[in-house]
Amino acid sequence: MPSKGLIASIIDRHRRDRTRLIDILRDIQAKSGFISPEAVADVAAGLGLSTVEVEGVATFYHFFSSRTAGTYAVYLNDSIVSVMKGRAAVAAAFEKAAGCAFGETTRDGRIGLHRTSCIGMNDQEPSALINGVVFTNLTPAKAKIIVEGMKAGMDVPAMVAVTGDGANASKLVRAMVKNNIRKGGPVIFAPFRVGAAVKKAVRMTPEDVIAEIKKSNLLGRGGAGFPTGLKWEFCRRENGEAHYVVCNSDEGEPGTFKDRVILTECPQLLFEGMAVAGYAVGAKEGVLYLRGEYAYLKPYLEKTLADLRKKNILGKKIAGKAGFSFDITIKLGAGAYVCGEESALLQSAQGERGEPRARPPFPVQSGYLFHPTTVNNVETLCMAARILEKGADWFKALGTPRSAGTKVLSVSGDCKKPGVYEIAFGLTVRKLLEMAGGLDAQAVQVGGPSGNCISRGQFDRAIAFEDLATGGSIIVIGPGRDLFEVVHNFMEFFVEESCGWCVPCRAGNPLLLRKLEKIMSGKGTPSDITEIETWGKTIKAMSRCGLGQTSPNPILTTIENFREMYEAKVDRGNSFLPEFDLAESVKAASAVTGQKYAAHAPEKARE
Amino acid sequence: MSKPVIATASLAGCFGCHMSFLDIDERILALVDLVEFNKSPINDIKTFTKPVDIGIIEGGCCNSENVEVLREFRKHCKVLISLGECAIMGGLPAMRNAIPVRECLEEAYFHSPTIDPADPKIMPGDEDLPIILDKVYPLHEIVKIDAYLPGCPPSADLIWKALTSLLEGKPLDLSYNLIKFD
């Protein structure tokens, strides 16, 4: 257990700043392997908060635990592509070598085995995080070696023998992660001269910068596709003591990892985009909200920020412009998909539980610390910088009339060349599959679990806002796969990641999952399909944020696009088949009370 | 023509839905003219004596007897209505669903604050007692349900509107106010 002195020093290091509560808890978790009730009380006292407030935050995030997570805490990704690439065998090897099951910690507390949602390594699965260090392309043999290393007390970073390409190999990253940039493009992955965007921006008025972005038709790349220029304009117009720029680097949608590659290879472009946004909306501060899974990039990103300060791209009187100062801090998450939703992200960046806020007010009105804030995706901000550099007309010439520019896609699953592709909008799924070597796919999941699962007949559809909109996750599902297993994995993910605020999402998703399991077990009837459709609509309509508004999509889009698969599985001659088995469901209690089950005759027994 | 027949039951519920039903107040006089009650706690008829047109069930299933009663209802009723949160979702009783049955029973009979530590620990296990299920189930997972009336409890007006619509053979057209709970 951490001493009071240690906790006090951690709190002091974070300047007793309540908004740094997650950083404080991260440090305690890292130091002691868990966050004890005593630690919660000490933190609460140190920050002048109630214990419940701190406990609420400590129990919200996946990477915080109230019992020891292990001196070595292994978090093995359980997203579908990890499963496709052999997760089960790797998990079994970890369990066998460590001598404990997933969800447990070895008796000596040395090794803990845990599941986790997609960690942004879908092109190199199965992958795991061990004490924050990324392990990719795992095999049972590698798992055994890793466990041996842990048993021998090895330093986790020292277990990374071979580093990946590009900046992954740099001293501050030293990760085995690979970029897998299969196709570069003119907007994101083209060479960038530091200062090119900011220096141009400061020669314009902020209004003109916004006008240029509006003219470019840049739409938000996180998935929702809101016009970026308009968002900046709304934010600028709001009165407030301070304005903020927040970069959403919480890409948690299973199957997306393009922001990880952008953060690794193009951080200057991103930070310039944030500075341009800051100039445009009148902000002095920016926050990069980095998902906890990407914490390994933090020292490298901090160094990049320091370099940019030296070059006067950040800091005071930027690029010689009197009155324009802007700087960026990095805030880490701690494992919560819902924090990709912008209002939940803002809560989390303020050190709160990552629960979405009611809207309105929108973040442009009341965002970070309740000041006017523009929240933009990593890719969007990079594009804004490039638009400033090259001009709106240049950008608009790429893509389709309604979807200007390029899109960075994360392609994974059953294809020969998984990785990152920067493509011009309008590309068909078929063309993409050709490039990636996955033409024999039976289905493609576009936009991750919250997106759309399309069938072969739809492969000529285009990736663009007007057709298949996507935040970038493309999962190729090969011919031999059981699509039900994919859908089931996605629904388990949403059940796990629902923040629990809205009943339709918290309770509805488990019900959908159960219904799906009922159909999978062969006990479904056509009425089950109809009920899923009705309930799914209710969940989508009645949930507060994007999570609940899209969580039924895995089932609903496969019912729409693969209806025959569901119909083949249900008993069409029956109007109702219960999955429930009375004899089975009384077994647990019988074992405790000694009662034996014999069908009662209630009508007679009661008389 | 004989009057339509109604039956009701409260399973793993609190009888709150039945209380809400009684909140139809003086409309109960009209209801008595319109329908005949069969098995129901309202008239204390304990067994089905004839086929029933509308069965109304409050509460989910938490034990073997609940399941048997529910199945009897399904057998006897043309239309079966799931009334209220517990029937539809399991409700408050389903809060135990995340806790193993053994823990629940031991908490209730061995460790609860009202147990005198000096008393012998007795786990009720008489064969005549219904057996607790592994978890609390909503009705629709056990039998086919024809209509759901949400609420905790559903308001008297909602129940009245639903019943009269059914009796008049009209589609169940529930206005927003009837199913708005905040």
Give the B-side interface with A, CB within 8 Å. 46-48, 64-65, 67-69, 72, 89, 100-102, 105-106, 123-135, 137, 141-144
The token pair that represents A20 in the structure block: 């740094």
- The reply to whether B56 falls in a domain is yes
Task: Read off the pLDDT of residues B1-54 as tens digits, 9 standing for 90 and up.
Answer: 689 999 999 999 999 999 999 999 999 999 999 999 999 999 999 999 999 999
Same domain, A83 and A140: yes
Confidence of residue A1 (pLDDT cuts 50, 70, 90): low
Q: Residue A412: phi, psi to the nearest 5?
A: -150, 180
Query: Concatenated DSSP letters for B59-125?
Result: SBEEEHHHHHHHHHHHHHEEEEEEEHHHHHH-TGGGGGGGS-HHHHHHIIIIISTTS-TTS------
Per-chain mean pLDDT for chain A = 95
Residue A606's pLDDT band, with cuts at 50, 70 and 90, is: very low
The answer to whether residues A222 and A360 belong to one domain is yes
Tell me the CATH number at B86. Answer: 3.40.50.700
**Residue A502 belongs to a domain:** yes
Residue B150 neighbours by CB distance under 10 Å = 18
Q: CB of B3 within 8 A of CB of B34?
A: yes
Question: Does residue A602 have a pLDDT over 70?
Answer: no
| The pLDDT of residue A575 | 81
Mean pLDDT, rounded, for B123-129: 93
Per-residue pLDDT tens digits for A124-169: 999 999 999 999 999 999 999 999 999 999 999 999 989 999 999 9
Query: What pLDDT, on a 0 to 100 scale, did the predictor assign at position B172?
Result: 82
Same-domain check for residues A245 and A347:
yes
Residue of B nearest to A606 (CA): B46
Q: Other CB atoms closer than 10 Å to residue B103's CB: what's the count?
A: 12
Give the pairing of strands A419-424 and A406-413: antiparallel
CA-based nearest residue to A475, from A426, A500, A442: A442
Q: What is the tens place of the pLDDT at every residue in A75-97? A: 999 999 999 999 999 999 999 99
Query: Average pLDDT in the B136-159 region?
Result: 95
Q: Answer yes or no: is B104 within a domain.
A: no
Residue with tokens 């990069």: A288
Are A386 and A439 within one domain?
no
Looking only at the bridges linking them, the beta strands covering A443-446 and A452-455 are antiparallel
Residue B129: inside a domain: no
Q: pLDDT for A479-519, tens place per residue?
A: 999 999 999 999 999 999 999 999 999 999 999 999 999 99
* Chain A residues closer than 8 Å to B100 by CB: 588
> What is the percent of chain A with per-residue pLDDT over 70, rounded to a whole number?
98
Q: How confident is the model at residue A579 (pLDDT cuts 50, 70, 90)?
A: confident
Residue among A575, A594, A601 whose CB faces B144 most closely: A575
Token digits of residue A380:
């969007």
Q: For A259-311, what is each residue's pLDDT tens digit?
A: 999 999 999 999 999 999 999 999 999 999 999 999 999 999 999 999 999 99
Q: Closest CB to B47: pick one of A592, A599, A607.
A: A607
Count of residues making up chain A: 607
Q: E-strand spans in A250-334? A: 285-290, 327-332
Same domain (yes/no): A20, A102: no
Tell me how many domains chain B contains.
1
Confirm if A348 and A336 have CB atoms less than 8 A apart: yes
Does the residue B9 lie in any domain? Answer: yes
Coil, strand or helix at A415: coil
Q: What is the pLDDT of residue A600?
A: 53
In a domain? residue A607? no
Query: Of A131, A161, A191, which one is at a domain's C-terminal end?
Result: A161
- Burial label for A508, CB within 10 Å (0-12, 13-18, 19+), is buried
Tokens of A245: 């720029």
Q: Is residue B90 part of a domain?
A: yes
Q: Is residue A326 a part of any domain in this protein?
A: yes
Write A311-319 long-range contacts (CB < 8 A, 24+).
A311/A194, A311/A195, A313/A194, A313/A195, A313/A198, A313/A268, A313/A271, A313/A272, A313/A275, A314/A271, A314/A275, A318/A198, A318/A202, A318/A275, A318/A279, A319/A195, A319/A198, A319/A199, A319/A202
Residues A413/A477, Cβ–Cβ less than 8 Å: yes
Partners of residue A580 in chain B, C-beta under 8 Å: 67, 137, 141-142
Which pLDDT value is given to residue A326?
A: 98
Q: Is residue A574 part of a domain?
A: no
Mean pLDDT of A556-561: 97
Domain tally, chain A: 5
> Which pLDDT score, from 0 to 100, does residue A334 have?
96
Which of helix, strand or coil describes residue A111? strand
Please report where in the chains the tokens 């069965």 appear, as a residue: B55
Residue A536: CATH number of its domain:
1.20.1440.230
Residue A75 CA from chain centroid, whole number: 15
Domain assignment of residue A370, given as a range: 182-396
Q: Are residues A191 and A300 in the same domain?
A: yes
Same domain membership, residue A346 and residue A226: yes
B50 within domain boundaries: yes
Instruction: Give domain status of residue B39, yes or no.
Output: yes
Would A413 be classed as within a structural domain?
yes
| pLDDT number for residue A67 | 93
Strands B132-137 and B61-63: antiparallel
Confidence band for A605, pLDDT divided at 50, 70 and 90:
very low
Q: What would the mean pLDDT of A25-48 be, rounded to a whole number?
A: 95
Q: Quick check: A604 pLDDT over 60? A: no
Distance CA A250, CA A571 (A): 42
Q: Taking a contact as any Cβ pair under 8 Å apart, which residues of chain A between 494 and 513 contact chain B?
A: 507
pLDDT at A607 over 60: no
Give me the pLDDT at residue B69, please. 97
Mean pLDDT of chain B: 94
Predicted confidence at residue B182, as pLDDT, reads 74
For residue B146, the enclosing domain spans 5-97+135-177
Asked if A586 is an interface residue toward chain B (Cβ–Cβ < 8 A), one would say yes
Distance of alpha carbon B138 from the chain centroid? 10
Per DSSP (E only), the strands in A66-203 are 72-77, 111-116, 128-130, 133-135, 181-183
* Co-location of A240 and A381 in the same domain: yes
A320-324, A596-600, B104-108: range with lowest mean pLDDT: A596-600
- Cα–Cα distance measured from residue A345 to residue A257, given in angstroms and rounded to the nearest whole number: 18
Dihedral of the alpha carbons of A135, A138, A141, A145, in degrees to the nearest 10 = 10
Q: Rounded to two decimals, what is the model's pTM?
A: 0.87
Query: Is position A401 within any domain?
Result: no
Give the model's confidence band at A601: pLDDT under 50 very low, under 70 low, under 90 confident, else very high: very low
Q: How many CB pairs under 8 A join A and B?
A: 82
